């Protein structure tokens, strides 16, 4: 519990939270104390010595490092103090470049600000600055420039770089030669820098400067990339997005951003944006007016109502737009065939967590990770896929938390771990079950929690105690003693959080994997309390919201079953069709002639779906295909009609992030040409087809309908979201939202969670295909590159696909770094450049799925999870041969 202390600054009676420093308390009370090396949220350094204040004893202390105490008195202003400050400032200026007028930070420079406060004149500044030899600026990074001449050695960049886990820069040399440097003093592009721009953001002078233009206006909104849902201020100049900075008041990111969130939002400016509707004539598209395009779509879709029609919703579109698409599909097209990319990422999370806990969402919040005593990261690589979440993990580690990683790859997060279990792909269930056995054997399970809040434990206990540990070692490639150490670490450090991503879900036993992790959390009582839980990290910005909105073939909005659909049919004035097809089943049906028309909104399945050649044939076999998007993607090129949509920056709406936080999206600029919002397009089409109930005047009106039908959204409104995001469930106007789930009861009929025995599906390679291909993502690209592919600076870091291969395997095959290899599976083959890397284990290779030129999904697709329909993407047997 927080408490306050009373103290004085310059005779003023003040109140502050216990633990705050004098500087923090002063700034919170609108008292200015000069400073250069302090930044909220970064560990204080006391390096600039400008924040000196006088304490009760008359001693000078640094305000940024001195905690406030009850009854304390401080003096922040006196001739003695300011005289010392001027001396310190003069020394700083004497080492600083003198070209203020030409400096990009002029007018936004803290050194200028402090100089003005201390009454140093322009003559003083000129006199103090000798003609120093100029150092060449480091212009190697495409997003920012480093200028050593302007550096004041405040150390902010060093500390924030450490906090992100990159640790690319540090103090180097001594005395007069001291500078901020990379390892071996190389260019920043050659270091471990991840280009997040945090150093640029905190630099108080012009030593680190963004290459982006300065905006005329800024609009508060939400980042459109991963599921973290970072708050941003989007910078606009005319009709272009030019910058982005983190929202310091947003509880998700607290001002921090990754490279994409800070520097890669200008894809909306691309000249490749769709501006008018397109109709295919022969093999080419022609631009047409909206009336002609919508008339054609309405006429053709009218032929395929019912099971012959399917729609693909979008994890990139707003809640309101996904809600409208599923409503259109069910009431206008009379079809239950509605799905989206969650089928390829976290459908097993929805299914598995619903089975065990009654709710298929992240149980806790991202910020809570920082107070966890232990974090178990399974099948996740957050430093690349969810960087802001990784920052919270790193902060937890710096506070003493234990980190246990289970992952076949060696990643940046595994290098920070206390224990890394590098198991064979697809062997998570026996490993996790063995952890459960060791926890029970050691008496570390929470007996009170298990007895009072769960069911099915006895059967579960008997099964895990019968595990053959030698067989577990053979299946996983991990020694039993290492599994035991990981189990004890997780169970004995409370509270403990589990985070996982698609390394768990994208398997033929993905649902069973999720169940196994749920068992582990239940066994240790790590549910229903802060900084604990089981937390799937969602991949795209609104994949959680798209699921919430009922863009699923077997669930209505709010995860309400089709058997209780009367409230929807009454509101919508239409009967609700039965369960429809999942995304992979849609393509099966298209090939078989059972599915004849498809409407795809904001997705690119030709690149993202497994077995890409099969997907292409399925799309080509349709009688009629409509694609609604912001670019002419690879999928859109196959369409009969393409409808131009607004990008995220060009509309209002809401996104729901991975921690169930509903946040407001605000329009920042107009869309190019005649592009329209996705919901407006769908409503115009519905009315063109004679449907009623689609005459919405705004996105807020759509959200009001959602809140009326979805109990977990009932207390959320645009008006309330103006003050910040709200985590569902929020059941009334007075409800504040829910930080963590299951505090009193689970969302099951009995109120108890269930231990369930997960069914393991063993698979292996063959003599013909002896290597296992694992697919995933990298930091600098996103999904199928429809967005990041329009930010050319990102190609400096990731311009083409590569196959990561273990050095021992490379030696066996005669492959050297940079060689071209042929990779072949049962479904297809491709040529790709090899990169010899120790981060993958022997017998395993890795590719991303980002690049259309070398689509990894030509190779994948060897089975589906029977419980969720998830295709296998993390275990594809392949063969590899050098080319040439």
| Residue closest to 559 by CA, chosen among 359, 313, 303, 379 | 359
In Å, what is the CA distance from 119 to each residue of 32, 253, 660? 15, 37, 50
Does the pLDDT value for residue 178 go beyond 90?
no
CB–CB of 520/429 below 8 Å? no
For the record, the structure tokens of 456 come out as 């099915």
In Å, what is the CA distance from 185 to each residue of 150, 154, 182? 17, 19, 5
Task: Convert the pLDDT of each residue in 239-271 to its tens digit.
Answer: 999 999 999 999 999 999 999 999 999 999 999
Distance of alpha carbon 233 from alpha carbon 218, whole angstroms: 6
What value does the mean pLDDT of the chain take? Answer: 94
Does the pLDDT value for residue 745 go beyond 80?
yes
pLDDT interval class at 133 (50, 70, 90): low
- Over residues 403-424, the mean pLDDT reads 97
According to the CATH classification, is domain 364-385+402-523 in 3.10.20.30?
no
- Over residues 334-338, the mean pLDDT reads 98
pLDDT given at position 403: 99
- Over residues 492-513, the mean pLDDT reads 97
CB atoms within 10 A of CB 59: 9
Task: Convert the pLDDT of each residue in 657-678 to its tens digit.
Answer: 999 999 999 999 999 999 999 9
For the record, the structure tokens of 717 come out as 């409104």
Sign of CA dihedral 356, 359, 527, 345: positive
| Domain definitions of the chain by residue range | 4-128, 144-269, 278-345+542-711, 364-385+402-523, 771-882
pLDDT given at position 132: 58
Least trusted range by pLDDT, from 125-139, 243-257, 370-384: 125-139
pLDDT given at position 700: 98
Cis amide bond preceding 495, omega within 30: yes
Query: The CATH number of 278-345+542-711 is which of 3.40.50.740, 3.30.9.10, 2.40.100.10, 1.20.910.10?
Result: 3.40.50.740
Does the pLDDT value for residue 97 go beyond 80?
no
pLDDT given at position 160: 95
pLDDT given at position 2: 67
- Over residues 840-867, the mean pLDDT reads 94
Least trusted range by pLDDT, from 152-156, 722-726, 824-828: 152-156
Token pair 């992790």 is found at 517
- The CATH homologous superfamily to which domain 144-269 belongs is ADC-like domains (2.20.25.90)
The CATH architecture that domain 4-128 belongs to is: Roll (3.10)
Distance of alpha carbon 535 from alpha carbon 389, whole angstroms: 11
pLDDT given at position 843: 97
The CATH architecture that domain 771-882 belongs to is: Beta Barrel (2.40)
For the record, the structure tokens of 168 come out as 């690319």
Does the pLDDT value for residue 803 go beyond 60?
yes
Task: Convert the pLDDT of each residue in 134-160 to its tens digit.
Answer: 778 999 999 999 998 888 889 999 999
Look at the pTM and tell me if it is higher than 0.75. yes
**Higher-scoring residue by pLDDT: 112, 690:** 690
pLDDT > 70: percent of the chain: 97
- The secondary element (H helix, E strand) that includes residue 679 is helix 678-688
pLDDT interval class at 717 (50, 70, 90): very high
Does the pLDDT value for residue 103 go beyond 90?
no
């Amino acid at each position: 519990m927080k408490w306050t202390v009373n103290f004085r600054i310059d005779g003023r009676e003040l109140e502050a939270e216990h633990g705050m420093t004098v500087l923090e308390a002063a700034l919170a009370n609108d008292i200015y104390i000069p400073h250069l090396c302090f930044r909220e949220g970064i560990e204080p350094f006391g390096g600039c010595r400008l924040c000196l204040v006088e304490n009760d004893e008359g001693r000078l202390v640094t305000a940024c490092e001195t905690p406030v105490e009850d009854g304390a008195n401080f003096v922040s202003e006196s001739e003695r103090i300011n005289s010392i400050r001027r001396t310190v400032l003069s020394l700083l200026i004497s080492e600083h470049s003198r070209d203020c007028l030409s400096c990009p930070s002029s007018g936004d420079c803290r050194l200028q600000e402090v100089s003005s406060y201390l009454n140093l004149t322009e003559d003083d500044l000129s006199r103090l600055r000798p003609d120093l030899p100029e150092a060449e600026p480091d212009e190697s990074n495409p997003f920012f420039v480093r200028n050593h001449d302007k550096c004041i050695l405040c150390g902010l960049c060093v500390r924030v770089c450490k906090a992100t886990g990159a640790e690319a820069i540090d103090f180097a040399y001594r005395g007069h030669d001291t500078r901020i440097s990379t390892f071996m003093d190389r260019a920043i592009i050659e270091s471990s820098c991840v280009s997040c721009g945090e150093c640029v953001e905190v630099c108080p002078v012009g030593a680190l400067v963004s290459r982006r233009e300065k905006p005329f206006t800024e609009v508060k909104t939400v980042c459109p990339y991963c599921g973290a849902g970072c708050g941003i201020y989007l910078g606009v100049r005319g009709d272009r997005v030019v910058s982005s900075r983190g929202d310091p008041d947003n509880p998700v990111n607290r001002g921090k951003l990754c490279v994409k969130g800070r520097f890669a939002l200008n894809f909306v400016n691309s000249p490749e944006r769709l501006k008018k509707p397109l109709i295919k004539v022969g093999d080419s598209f022609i631009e047409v007016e909206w009336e002609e395009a919508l008339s054609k779509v309405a006429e053709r879709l009218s032929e395929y109502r019912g099971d012959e029609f399917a729609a693909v919703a979008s994890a990139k579109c707003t809640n309101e737009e996904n809600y409208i698409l599923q409503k259109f599909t069910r009431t206008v097209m009379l079809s239950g065939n509605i799905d989206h990319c969650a089928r390829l990422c976290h459908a097993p999370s929805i299914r598995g967590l619903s089975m065990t806990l009654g709710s298929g969402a992240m149980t806790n919040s991202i910020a809570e990770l920082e107070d966890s005593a232990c974090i178990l990261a399974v099948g996740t690589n957050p430093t690349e896929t969810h960087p802001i979440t990784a920052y919270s993990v790193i902060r937890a580690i710096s506070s003493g938390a234990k980190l246990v990683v289970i992952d076949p790859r060696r990643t940046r997060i595994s290098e920070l771990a206390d224990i890394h279990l590098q198991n064979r792909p697809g062997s998570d269930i026996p490993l996790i079950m063995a952890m459960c056995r060791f926890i029970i054997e050691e008496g570390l399970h929470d007996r009170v929690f298990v007895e009072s809040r769960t069911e099915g434990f006895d059967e579960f206990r008997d099964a895990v105690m019968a595990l053959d540990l030698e067989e577990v070692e053979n299946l996983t490639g991990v020694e039993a003693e290492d599994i035991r150490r990981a189990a004890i670490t997780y169970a004995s450090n409370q509270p403990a959080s589990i985070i996982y991503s698609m390394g768990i879900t994208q398997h033929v036993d993905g649902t069973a994997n999720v169940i196994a992790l749920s068992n582990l959390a239940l066994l240790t009582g790590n549910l229903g309390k802060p900084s604990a839980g089981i937390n799937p990290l969602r991949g795209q910005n609104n994949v959680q919201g798209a699921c919430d909105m009922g863009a699923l073939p077997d669930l209505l909005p709010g995860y309400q079953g089709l058997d209780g659909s009367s409230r929807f049919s009454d509101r919508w004035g239409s009967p609700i069709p039965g369960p429809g097809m999942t995304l992979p089943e849609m393509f099966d049906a298209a090939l078989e002639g059972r599915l004849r028309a498809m409407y795809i909104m904001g997705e690119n399945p030709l690149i993202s779906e497994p077995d890409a050649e099969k997907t292409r044939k399925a799309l080509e076999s349709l009688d009629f295909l409509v694609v609604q998007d912001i670019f002419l993607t690879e999928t859109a090129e196959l369409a009969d009609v393409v409808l131009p949509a607004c990008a995220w920056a060009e509309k209002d709406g809401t996104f729901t992030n991975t921690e169930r936080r509903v946040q407001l999206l605000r329009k920042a600029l107009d869309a190019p040409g005649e592009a329209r919002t996705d919901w407006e397009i769908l409503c115009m089409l519905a009315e063109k087809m004679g449907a009623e109930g689609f005459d919405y005047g705004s996105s807020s009106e759509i959200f009001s309908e959602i809140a009326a039908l979805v109990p977990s959204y009932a207390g959320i409104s645009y008006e309330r979201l103006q003050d910040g995001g709200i985590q569902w469930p929020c059941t009334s106007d007075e409800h504040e939202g829910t930080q963590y789930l299951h505090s009193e009861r689970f969302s099951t009929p009995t109120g108890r969670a269930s231990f369930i025995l997960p069914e393991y599906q063993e698979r292996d390679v063959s003599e013909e295909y002896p290597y296992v291909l694992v697919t995933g993502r990298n930091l600098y690209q996103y999904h199928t590159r429809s967005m990041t592919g329009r930010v050319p600076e990102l190609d400096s870091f990731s311009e083409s696909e590569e196959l990561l291969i273990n050095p021992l395997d490379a030696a066996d095959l005669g492959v050297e770094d940079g060689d071209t290899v042929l990779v072949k599976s049962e479904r297809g083959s491709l040529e790709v450049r090899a990169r010899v890397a120790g981060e993958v284990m022997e017998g395993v290779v890795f590719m991303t799925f980002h690049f259309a030129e070398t689509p990894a999904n030509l190779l994948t697709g060897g089975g589906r999870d029977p419980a969720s329909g998830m295709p296998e993407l993390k275990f594809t047997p392949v063969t590899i041969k050098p080319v040439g």
